[in-house]
Structure 1
Amino acid sequence: MLTAILAFFVDSVIGDPHTKFHPVALMGRLIAFLERLLYRENDSDGRKFTVGAVLVLLVLFISYMVAASILSLSYRIPTVWGSILVGAGMLSFTISPKSLAQAGRGIYALLIAGKLAEAREKVGWIVGRDTKDLDAAGISRATIETIAENTSDGIIAPLFFFAIGGVPLAVLYRAANTMDSMIGYKNDRYRCFGCAAAHLDDVLNLIPARMTGLLFVLSAWILGFDYRHAFRIMGRDAAKHPSPNGGYAEAPVAGALHIRLGGVNSYFGKKTFRAYMGDAIEKIAPRHIMEATRMMYTATVLFLIFAYIILKAVPIGQ
């Protein structure tokens, strides 16, 4: 797990470089290229599903093989630290604690300064919902929900797959998650074409999401939040989330902070209601963004500690 610890350190200190050559950006371009190549508007639903599944298999295969090849080449470096550092660098591209924390801190600072228009614009960069009419509580809720859910699929999940299958499997997971974010929508274009990508992401996140929920409960205990309520709300509300996994990240955070997540969201001008997570014991405020961020970092460190202990006893990963 030294590679994972170094990757977390690299991301926390340096963060993601903003470049078109970022591995996730390259994955995105590959997915977009294959979509242009394979998608046909007039195809039957069955054919759209089939070619969408082909896209998924191609992206997974290419991502895994490229990562495995780079790692294999790194073993030729005449020092054991060479392959560890290359692996840590690759793994750091699959996790996003610093970018999550930076987004949260930036939105928090704007809200504290009373700059609602700027805060609405910035939260719009990290959520898919309409943000132009959100008040401070709505902006805070959107940010907290994003931090909670991305702790699962943007941090814990890639680290989990690294623990069981090394860097190539973590990269494969990131490719699957990127496909879901690009084509895993239930609209007219992607309902069939992106079906395989959406279901694959759901399956891959089943275990990491539930692990994240338990880590959030333990984080609440360590940080002095209401861990009993976090556990209770996770058991009560997690399954209400429209995603089979999202609620296991959001519900314990809502319970720990005594706030209520979920409610009415607007997408492209159309309002929808998402089931509530938690009880409105406290009104959502900007400070809860920072508390959710602390829970995110604590959950990540806890995962690294537990994974290190387990893998020392049962070395199943790399």
Structure 2
Amino acid sequence: MNSFWILPASLLLDLGFGDPQGFPHPVRFIGKFARYMEKLTRKYISSERFAGIITALSVYSLSSIFPWLIIEIFRHLHPFLGELVSAFIIYTSIALKDLLDHSKDVYSALQENDIAKARTMVGRIVGRDTVNLEEPEIVRAGLESVGESLVDGITAPLFFAALGGPAFAMLYRSINTLDSLFGYKNNTYLKFGWASARMDDLANYIPARLTAPILCISSAILGFHPLRSFKILIRDGKKHPSPNSGLCEAALAGALKIQLGGRNYYSGIPSEKPKLGDPDRKLVPNLILDANRIIFLTSILSSILFLGLVQAAYLLYRNFFQS
């Protein structure tokens, strides 16, 4: 990006407006186009894996080319208009405010001692069964959602936006969306969703490994437990079946001196998740607010780091290859 103000402006837009209800969000169009391509490729391509690859490539291409074309149109009208549209597109790729708001809804319901409402609220941000969860498990579900969503909902799109502007941010959002739609290990999507799942792992690899140490630093600034955060990150971060999802969850568990993971139920079927951290503290509602503070600061520091790294790389390239 030519202007450093675009990324901070995008974050401010998100913090101010979140995802307005009824707004034609680009991610919804990505999802609809992906479903259309799924039907089309499954109909005409016999190989499920190849059909999934063609679907993924089609969605990735459209998701990056379309915003680039829009920005170029506005940039020809006036350069500043192009920058405004760029900030708006990046804003639609991140979800910091929604993540904080949804977890606060869970906290508020627990503060009201309304377990039924808390189960409903946490059910909006997790995929597990929530109908029988008690307070500690509701808190755990909320914290795990916040820790896992930090990368794919906030820092990864910020990383790609810093790296390649709005087109890269929407490319990442399409990668993450396809993984959400097709990245299931069941009979329907095991082969078809193979490419989508692998690409999501690849796209999140660097952002996750940059974000987790920043979370440790954020915990130090906010007065939590940075050494424990780093220790648990190193010890437990790779226990998760996903190569990326466990890193920030482990760092968050260490920062709060709690244990995440354990048994979850999905459609009534139990699933054992690796345990991250040590159970030094009970899982109480106030931990949700503590986690939100850490997530917020980590998001801000990450955007600063990403812009700094890109600027440093650009200066290095210019000094050594264009001198």
2:34 alignment partner in structure 1: 31
Query: How much does 1:176 deviate?
Result: 0.5
Q: What count of residue pairs does the alignment treat as equivalent? A: 313
Query: How much does 1:166 deviate?
Result: 1.2
2:241 alignment partner in structure 1: 242
2: CA distance, partners of 1:260 / 1:137:
11
The answer to whether residue 10 in structure 2 is matched with residue 7 in structure 1 is: yes
2: CA distance, partners of 1:181 / 1:250:
19
1:109 alignment partner in structure 2: 108
> Partner letter of residue 38 of structure 1?
T
Q: What per-residue deviation string (whole Å, max 9, x for no partner) do you get for residues 239-260 of structure 1? A: 1011110111100000000110
2: CA distance, partners of 1:2 / 1:39:
43
Structure 1 runs (4+) deviating above 4 angstroms are none
1: CA distance, partners of 2:164 / 2:105:
35
> Partner letter of residue 54 of structure 1?
I
Query: How much does 1:311 deviate?
Result: 3.7
Gaps of 5+ in 2: 318-323
2: CA distance, partners of 1:182 / 1:139:
25
1:87-126 map, 5 Å: 87-126=86-125
1:302 alignment partner in structure 2: 301
Is 1:238–1:248's contact at 8 Å kept on the other side of the alignment?
A: yes
Query: How much does 1:20 deviate?
Result: 6.1
1:59 alignment partner in structure 2: 59
Q: What secondary structure, in the 3-state scheme, does the structure 1 residue paired with 2:263 have?
A: strand
Q: What secondary structure, in the 3-state scheme, does the structure 1 residue paired with 2:273 have?
A: strand
Is 2:163–2:310's contact at 8 Å kept on the other side of the alignment?
A: no
1: CA distance, partners of 2:77 / 2:142:
42
1:73 alignment partner in structure 2: 73
Is 2:155–2:303's contact at 8 Å kept on the other side of the alignment?
A: no
Q: What secondary structure, in the 3-state scheme, does the structure 1 residue paired with 2:93 have?
A: coil
2:49 alignment partner in structure 1: 49
The answer to whether residue 16 in structure 2 is matched with residue 16 in structure 1 is: no
Query: How much does 1:71 deviate?
Result: 1.3
2: CA distance, partners of 1:160 / 1:86:
18
2:252 alignment partner in structure 1: 253
Q: What secondary structure, in the 3-state scheme, does the structure 2 residue paired with 1:261 have?
A: strand
1:146-295 map, 5 Å: 146-295=145-294
Query: How much does 1:39 deviate?
Result: 2.7
> Partner letter of residue 303 of structure 2?
L
2: CA distance, partners of 1:71 / 1:204:
24
Is 2:119–2:130's contact at 8 Å kept on the other side of the alignment?
A: yes
2: CA distance, partners of 1:199 / 1:288:
33
1: CA distance, partners of 2:187 / 2:313:
46
Query: How much does 1:306 deviate?
Result: 2.0
Is 1:140–1:286's contact at 8 Å kept on the other side of the alignment?
A: yes
Single out whichever of 65-74 and 225-234 deviates more from structure 2.
65-74
2:320 alignment partner in structure 1: none
Is 1:105–1:290's contact at 8 Å kept on the other side of the alignment?
A: yes
Query: TM-score w.r.t. structure 1 length?
Result: 0.95
Is 1:221–1:227's contact at 8 Å kept on the other side of the alignment?
A: yes
> Partner letter of residue 119 of structure 1?
A
> Partner letter of residue 262 of structure 2?
G
**Percent of matched pairs sharing the same residue:** 37
2: CA distance, partners of 1:20 / 1:197:
26
Is 2:159–2:303's contact at 8 Å kept on the other side of the alignment?
A: no
> Partner letter of residue 135 of structure 1?
E
Q: What per-residue deviation string (whole Å, max 9, x for no partner) do you get for residues 249-301 of structure 1? A: 10000000011000000011000111100000001111111111111110011
1: CA distance, partners of 2:80 / 2:220:
36
2: CA distance, partners of 1:258 / 1:205:
26
RMSD: 1.6
> Partner letter of residue 71 of structure 2?
L
Residues 20 and 51 of structure 1: CA distance in aligned 2, closer, same or farther (over 3 Å): farther
Is 1:20–1:26's contact at 8 Å kept on the other side of the alignment?
A: no
Query: TM-score w.r.t. structure 2 length?
Result: 0.93
